[in-house]
């Protein structure tokens, strides 16, 4: 179903909705140290709805210079792929469940083609923020020890298993990485940059 809206208007709705979702996620993560399921559900619903009712334009999507809705099926595929991409990080306890679900919500907006590049952008932003936080707080020794223990949990040589609950060197609210990664990737694509990962 297409409503009588232009592709540019639809694209603005998508960007405003994404900005609200990520802002709420950052607020939730900073205040409660978790991303609320309500925020995730709003994101999933918003992404599927906007891609379902917006003006179609092939597989262009919201980051294209010629934007168009992907359709509800592609939005759901983007959500499932987003969930699958970060799920291994949750399974090794390197990421919280809310972070995994938030990428699924963002995947509903950007679809299966762009979610890979967006995930990479979020991970890169998270790495930069983590290093900056480590240097700022002076906890580099604890962080490096945690990294070694986490790698040992994957069979790379450390004797003890890393437990992020008891061995954390001050958890960074990862929703900040989502906000930074989304902002950087959106800016990159709006300036004509190609997707970071092309399928």
Quick check: 83 and 104 in contact, CB under 8 A?
A: yes
Two tokens, residue 27: 């607020």
What per-residue confidence (pLDDT) applies to 44?
97
Q: DSSP character for 65? A: S
Q: How far is CA 5 from CA 1, 43, 188, in A?
A: 12, 21, 26
What pLDDT digit, counting tens, does each position of 50-80 carry?
A: 999 999 877 789 998 889 999 999 999 999 9
What per-residue confidence (pLDDT) applies to 3?
53
CB within 8 Å of 143: residues ≥ 6 apart? 130, 134, 169
- DSSP H or E segment with residue 178: helix 175-190
Query: Could you give the count of Cα atoms lying within 13 Å of 10 in the half-sphere of its Cβ?
Result: 31
CA-based torsion, 54, 74, 34, 179: positive or negative: negative
Q: Could you tell me the pTM of the whole model?
A: 0.83
What per-residue confidence (pLDDT) applies to 2?
47
What per-residue confidence (pLDDT) applies to 20?
97
What per-residue confidence (pLDDT) applies to 127?
87
What per-residue confidence (pLDDT) applies to 158?
44
What per-residue confidence (pLDDT) applies to 35?
95
- Alpha-carbon distance of 149 to 159, in angstroms, equals 8
What per-residue confidence (pLDDT) applies to 70?
94
Residue ranges per domain, the chain?
Answer: 7-190
What per-residue confidence (pLDDT) applies to 88?
94
What per-residue confidence (pLDDT) applies to 165?
44
Residue ranges in the chain whose pLDDT is less than 50: 1-2, 153, 156, 158-159, 162-169
């Amino acid at each position: 179903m297409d409503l009588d809206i232009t592709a540019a208007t639809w694209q603005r709705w998508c960007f405003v909705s994404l900005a609200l979702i990520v802002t709420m996620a950052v607020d939730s993560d900073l205040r409660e140290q978790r991303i609320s399921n309500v925020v995730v559900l709003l994101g999933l619903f918003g992404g599927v709805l906007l891609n379902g009712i917006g003006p179609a334009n092939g597989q262009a999507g919201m980051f294209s210079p010629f934007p168009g809705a992907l359709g509800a099926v592609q939005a759901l595929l983007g959500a499932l792929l987003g969930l699958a991409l970060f799920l291994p990080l949750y399974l090794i306890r390197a990421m919280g469940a809310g972070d995994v679900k938030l990428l699924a919500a963002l995947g509903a907006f950007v679809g299966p083609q762009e979610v890979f590049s967006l995930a990479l952008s979020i991970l890169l932003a998270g790495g930069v923020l983590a290093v900056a936080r480590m240097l700022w707080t002076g906890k580099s020794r604890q962080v490096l020890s945690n990294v070694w223990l986490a790698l040992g949990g994957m069979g790379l040589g450390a004797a003890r298993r890393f437990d992020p609950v008891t061995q954390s060197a001050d958890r960074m609210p990862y929703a900040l990485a989502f906000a930074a990664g989304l902002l950087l990737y959106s800016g990159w694509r709006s300036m004509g940059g190609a997707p970071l990962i092309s399928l």
